[in-house]
Structure 1
């Protein structure tokens, strides 16, 4: 497991493809969702004081991350859709609750899965190995190529994540047209005025 800096960097790396789906503003929001949940699996550190959970246990599984993300995505769709549509900073004719659900759920899953991946790269150094595919596959998965306390890896991951987002922000081309695109009409008009 990398430290918090490394987890945030890994979340940014995992969230970078959002630039090709959501466009400029959407990608920034998506990255924010991913950053918020980059530390989600480590809730076991707080929960172990009140529940019988161990570090790198059930909260460090794909099942936990996906279930919690779907639940939070449903709550976001229910309670944030109207707010997104009323917010004048989000320029779109209308954002459907289905889009908010997909956006929030995917952002939360990306943040959580990036955490699991970073922990797989370094877990056995100072913490028990992960079994991320439990209950389907209960054996630990160990890759172990990163040392937890390495500033090179932790700040390197953060620098790489920020650099990748800056690269996407500078390149104002978003090739994918999907029904979940936020502000697609505005992005198209922006590109047309630049040409």
Structure 2
């Protein structure tokens, strides 16, 4: 719950970049990527990786975000437009899908790293988010990882902020919005 709450907080600026449904889609995408660094829990059944290891680094999150965003922008954009947008008369501006995917993966992954830096020593080894640049753990130990009150409170704050942002959004001209042909 805490990782999703942190991703909600980090995704708040989406309301200033995109409009209405696109902002909401970005927030949903960022939420779906909030557990990206924990893919080590799945990978360790087939690879010799440890929890809070390489997948919990800025380098890993950035590399996955970049590779995925490039794949979507150059490999899937025309297909996505054809499937969902062309018949409705919309087109996606150049690099908008890249920004959307890269930003969502980066934001979700970084919010996860940040949350682990605030809480990890309680239940797991501290993260080394800046490895290989700095080979030292980094944590603040501010939040108790298993605190239902803290996690629920953070989630309530995140949901409230997004509800207010959605209410305040007036669909003004945003730089990365869909455009009618």
Superposition deviation, residue 12 in structure 1:
0.9
The superposition leaves residues 19-56 of structure 1 with CA deviations (integer Å, 9 ceiling, x where unpaired) of 00011111111112111110110111111122111110
Take 1:154 and 1:71, find their aligned partners in 2: how far apart are those partners? 31
- 1:164 maps to what in 2? 161
Take 1:62 and 1:97, find their aligned partners in 2: how far apart are those partners? 26
Take 2:170 and 2:29, find their aligned partners in 1: how far apart are those partners? 22
| Stretches of 4+ aligned residues off by more than 6 angstroms | 89-92
Cα RMSD over matched residues? Answer: 2.2
Asked if 1 retains the 8 angstrom alpha-carbon contact of 2:69 and 2:97, the reply is: yes
- Residues 143, 83 of structure 1: alpha-carbon distance in 2 compared, 3 angstrom cutoff: same
Superposition deviation, residue 85 in structure 1:
5.6
Take 1:21 and 1:131, find their aligned partners in 2: how far apart are those partners? 31
Superposition deviation, residue 82 in structure 1:
3.4
TM-score, length of structure 2 as denominator length: 0.90
Which of residues 145, 148, 151 is equivalent to 1:151? 148
Which of residues 35, 40, 51 is equivalent to 2:36? 40
- Residues 175, 62 of structure 1: alpha-carbon distance in 2 compared, 3 angstrom cutoff: farther
Extract unaligned runs of 5+ from structure 2.
none
Bigger Cα displacement from structure 2, 166-175 vs 78-87 = 78-87
- Residues 41, 139 of structure 1: alpha-carbon distance in 2 compared, 3 angstrom cutoff: same
SS of residue in 2 equivalent to 1:87:
helix
Asked if 1 retains the 8 angstrom alpha-carbon contact of 2:69 and 2:102, the reply is: yes
The superposition leaves residues 38-90 of structure 1 with CA deviations (integer Å, 9 ceiling, x where unpaired) of 01101111111221111101000000001001111122222144324642599
Superposition deviation, residue 167 in structure 1:
0.6
Asked if 1 retains the 8 angstrom alpha-carbon contact of 2:119 and 2:140, the reply is: yes
1:69 is the counterpart of 2:65: yes
1:123 is the counterpart of 2:123: no
- 1:59 maps to what in 2? 55
Asked if 1 retains the 8 angstrom alpha-carbon contact of 2:35 and 2:109, the reply is: yes
- 2:106 maps to what in 1? 109
- 2:91 maps to what in 1? 94
- 2:18 maps to what in 1? 22
SS of residue in 1 equivalent to 2:102:
helix
- Residues 184, 164 of structure 1: alpha-carbon distance in 2 compared, 3 angstrom cutoff: farther
Superposition deviation, residue 92 in structure 1:
6.8
- 1:137 maps to what in 2? 134
